[in-house]
Structure 1
């Protein structure tokens, strides 16, 4: 059976697995005490989450894990093939969800919540927030004429970007506009999202005490 280690970005993986109907187990990881988790460090010596174990295979990048699962357990309408006109948009937003949105938002979170107070408006933090909003503009523009990021059907690209938007929202570092709110209403009312939230109890508790839509 597949094992998913950790929530956080691991929520993307759990959500996809619920959409696919593939059996797995979630193994919690306390990212703030990972040094006390030798079993996890044996799987992922770098100590970040998520990690996926599939037999002898181990992966530790959430977007790569999504692509791996779709390839291994497809074909699925959650992926877009190269002959589809939406293929380029699918790839772009699948990766932008991490590289352009969640990655910069991580820097904002660290800069604002974990840095000493005198450093909370450091140039790098401001740059990260500017980067997030710049890339967000691509999402808003794309959604102006379509329901989802790869045409009019929900795909893994929407899992990737929805997670990033929710990360910014739940940490209080981003207030969605009307386009993003409508979009998140479409993606987060899916049954697989609800099942993933029930599996990821730490994520569910965090969402319940965070700003909502």
Structure 2
């Protein structure tokens, strides 16, 4: 069975959502955030101390968007993955990498220097600058969401899962008020999916059962 290590609201939500969309069996192990600080025993499992961490037999992975692509190809076939012969394959791959390298990176600095660091180490200018950076990069999603319900291939795919998580994180960081109209409508559509709602419920249920509180 697939095992996924997860923190509430973290990037590990991407593979959790993907697992629910695909209807795969999995075990969800919740950790306090950040686990390298609050669950040091986890370093014996993942020396990086980061999440996600997925185990599938002999396969071990740490990159959230990569895990989603792996799940779709290793445990497919599924319409969530765009095939190599599909004209939209290049766009699909670009969105898969864009989700973390371009969208989530600036958000991590907003999160760290606006919330996670002690008060004396917080950096309001860094938060402001990287929030603007994120919103600037979001213009690509605004344009794509104005051309169709989903980002590529004319259907919901893993590209929507991985970029949709970036919108969830943005909402948690208070940035949703600055979404353009197309992004706002797109984010509403994603949240209405049964797979998204099941992933949220699984996250909450596992946290309660394992007595891991949500981060502030």
TM-score by length of structure 1 reads: 0.87
Aligned to 1:52, the other structure's residue is in SS state: strand
Which residue matches 2:14?
12
How much does 1:118 deviate? 7.9
What is the deviation of 1:48? 0.9
Cα distance change on mapping 1:88 and 1:33 into 2, 3 Å: closer
Question: What is the distance in 2 between the residues matched to 1:204 and 1:141?
Answer: 36
Q: After superposition, what is the alpha-carbon deviation per residue over 1:118-171, rounded to whole angstroms, capped at 9, x for unaligned?
A: 85333x444422321221001111111111001320000001111101101112
Matches for 1:154-169 after TM superposition, within 5 Å: 154-169=156-171
| Equivalence for 2:98 | 96
> Per-residue deviation at 1:36?
5.4
Structure 2, unaligned runs of 5 or more: 209-215
109-118 or 136-145: bigger deviation: 109-118
Per the alignment, residue 192 of structure 2 pairs with 189
Pairing of 1:115-126 with structure 2 (within 5 A) = 115=117, 116=119, 120-122=123-125, 124-126=126-128
Corresponding residue number in structure 1 for 2:79: 77
Question: How far apart are 1:98 and its partner, in Å?
Answer: 1.0
Task: Report what 1:198 is aligned to.
Answer: 201
Q: Distance in 1 between matches of 2:120 and 2:38?
A: 29
Long gaps (5+) in structure 1 = none
* SS of residue in 1 equivalent to 2:148: coil
Distance 1:156 1:179, change over 3 A: same
| Cα distance in 2 between the residues matched to 1:155 and 1:203 | 26
Identify the residue that residue 213 of structure 2 maps to in structure 1.
none
| Cross-structure match for 2:30 | 28
Offset at residue 203 of structure 1 (A): 10
Contact conserved, 1:198 with 1:204, CA < 8 A, in 2? no
Q: Report the secondary structure of 1:200's partner residue.
A: helix
Does 79-88 or 110-119 show the bigger shift? 110-119
Contact 1:78 1:156 in 2 (8 A): yes
Look up the match of 1:2. Answer: 2
Provide closer, same or farther for how the CA distance between residues 39 and 117 of structure 1 changes in structure 2, counting only shifts above 3 A: closer
Task: Say if 2:14 and 2:64, in contact at 8 Å, map to a contact too.
Answer: yes
Q: Hey, which bits of structure 1, 4+ residues long, moved more than 3 A?
A: 32-39, 114-119, 124-127, 202-205
Structure 1 CA distance for aligned equivalents of residues 38 and 135 of structure 2:
37
| Aligned positions, number | 206
Q: Is the 8 A contact 1:112 1:125 kept in 2?
A: yes
Which has the higher mean CA deviation after the structures are superposed, 86-95 or 29-38?
A: 29-38
